[in-house]
Structure 1
Amino acid sequence: MQRDIYIKQKNHKSKMVANISNGFCLGTILVIACLLLARDAYGIAINKYIFLLILTPALLVFKEKYVLILWMFLMPLFVGLPGNYITLIVLLRFLIQVIHGGKLKIYKYPFILTVLLAMFIFTQNIAHKYIGAYYMIFIAELFVVYFFITTDYKSYFPEIMLSYSFGIAMTGIIMLVATLQTYSFSDLLSVATRLGYIGRTTEMTVIIDPNYYGLFAITSLSCNWQMITKKKYSKNQKKIALIFSGISIAVALIGMSRAFILCFAIWLVLSLLFEKKVSLKIKVIIVGIVCIGIAYCFLPNTVQAIMNRFASNDMQTGNGRTVIFDKMEKHWGSSVITMLFGIGLFDCNVHFMQMQYFFGLGLVGAMLMLLLVISYWNWMKRKRKRCSVADLIPIFIIQISASSVPTAQSLTFMMPVVISLIVYGVTTSLEL
């Protein structure tokens, strides 16, 4: 009897602690969201160190679950935050976590390949005189990805994914509200005032190119849909995921990103082709119809503007992408040295993530990157059950979207690729 009372008291105490932790984590997320909105949309001056003052203790003191939830909310917003400092804090937290108990957990192949790639990029940066924090932080980001992927998420990955989706939606909301402070909605639909082009300065702001936001939006849509169809969300989580994805899609449409429209169309087709369940096929059709219907009913000018963009003269060169590609290819092929060791990752601005690594790192560096990706792939599928082609759709569609933008130099814009890999592992795992 006393034992039962003790267990009940212990469970009650655990629930209370969990509720308090949830409250603090959610409170921190909402405070950061409000501060960013106040700063970037309404012009209230907020020093970057205010964000660090709030986030540093949270990232170091919160339990691992809440650290990951908070960090993933911040990732899409990194362009408007002191991201370099936050990355180092997160790396420190990961190190504290894995060393805790006096034992550092090392997973041989991904860790060795991460070290080798980090050494390669460090050497290349020194050789090309890229010694600033913006360039060198990429090396720390490689280790952050290693620790993130090899972390045991247990049962809380749905919250991590929802937090990331909220960060994406919040990025879009801030961009849209900030733009509407200066321009009307009808002005926003002209090419001269595209969402993501207005308000961009050298200062720290949550303003990104509409093609980058399109990558975020298609990540939110495809990964959340995968989580929903694989029944990894509760009923309430499913509703929240759909709301966040809906906001992201709406903002991406207003941003008039052709790459996003194409990826959205490809996602719909692939989901219909490879989904075996008829009920899910019907749901995909409904999602497509609803999105198109909302666009035509509530954003008719946006639809017309997007159609005009597809008919514009720059379609032949992909808005200059092929010109940049040819230039980078010639530079890469100019000598044996550049072919083997690359033209420099931060010298390569080709709008094609995969070719950024190939031209930027050369054959040697690109091979290290490929082997690292393969090691992560093997890590993710080590506990999987039998999977189908439909399980690979988020990975595939995000790779296509990433091939339209130069994402290779920053974890902020590479995170969709990382998330797609993790979602694959989570949705095909026997344990989760």
Structure 2
Amino acid sequence: MLQTNFIRDNRDLTIAGLIKKHFKDATQAIDRILDLDKKRRDVQQELDDTLALSNNKAKEIGALLKAGQKAEAEAAKADTVALKERSKSLDEEHKTIEASLLDELVKLPNLPHESVPEGRTAEDNVTVMEKGVKPVLPANALPHWELIKKLGKNQAPIIDFELGNKISGAGFPVYKGKAARLQRAMIAFFLDEAGKAGYTEVQPPIVVNADSGFATGQLPDKEGQMYHDAADDLYLIPTAEVPVTNLYRDVIVAENELPVKNVAYTPCFRREAGSWGAHVRGLNRLHQFDKVEIVQINKPEDSYKALDEMVGHVKGLLEKLELPYRILRLCGGDMGFTSALTYDFEVWSAGQERWLECSSVSNFETYQANRLKLRYKTIEKKTQLLHTLNGSALALPRIVAALLENNQQADGTVKVPEVLVPYCGFDTIE
């Protein structure tokens, strides 16, 4: 959430940032906020003055009574009653204005970093780099949703979409045999690599309350995209970012404890309402999927160096998996609500002959920290908001799709990347 004092001191800069993110009616929204902010401060000043006058009257009453001036004391008491009533009215007015101000603030997305390119859609994103050789597949190569039907035993697909549909619905596949072991191997590999990079592993809940969803910016922006249990008002997590970052809600971190680096594996749940078409076939888009997430909390002056480090970590994973990939810097119109700068990673899917997004690595600057009330105490004993960052390292479904498609052999088998063989115990899927 943007800070009111920043908006007050940087009105034009804020409006320009919102326009870059294609936020509708940016000028009107900011002027409403500034008007409410002025009213709030004016009421607060009057309330402070009224309380001070009331305190002075109380002291005056004591002095008058001590001097035996009862009539004057009674008159002062009447003034005090009126002042208390006025204070109560002003306090209620202040709370009403604060609620209206918060309602306006939570509608604003984060401002984009100066390096974010102009643009409205994914076509306007900028390719930062591309690495790896796209494989030349045998003539009988297939996209993964067809390939999985030919892999496994007794004609049963190793990833069964029909069985998952029977149990739960579309977008909830069942992994069997070597596919299930491959999933487990990749999770262990990603967690081990994060551990080597200094991340502390945590195992958080996979349901969160509304306060947690608000703190990381999923609420009120994305409530329609999350599965919600109305009875207990709990949400299935769309990403481990939500519970892991909320470990530090209402926390003041000591400066010598920074940076905070956590990693977590969780299943993730997304309704993905309105998704259809060839681009979401098979593993390309699911309602439930597995993901390893890295999260950092850092000082503002160090956060973009940390972002580069996280980008480098994801690059390393893809290179060890021998997957061709590219990195995109997202434009203003294609960025997430809470992000100041996002890099998307895409892997080449040879069976589909298209790029598939497999990771986003983002810096949220103080946007989440302001909602979280996540701060650190400097050596000078001052408290300041921290920066939060996260990244997928990695999300499994599209990685599995690319591994299966890119490593097809002429005999119909699939070769397992060498780095995963010790984890899964086999080098080929027949």
User: For this structure pair, what is the TM-score category when the shorter chain's length is used for normalisation?
Assistant: under 0.3
TM-score of the aligned structures, taking structure 1 as reference length: 0.22
Higher relative strand content = 2
Which one has more relative contact order, counting CA pairs under 8 Å at least 6 apart? 2
Question: Which entry has the higher C-alpha Rg, 1 or 2?
Answer: 2
TM-score of the aligned structures, taking structure 2 as reference length: 0.22
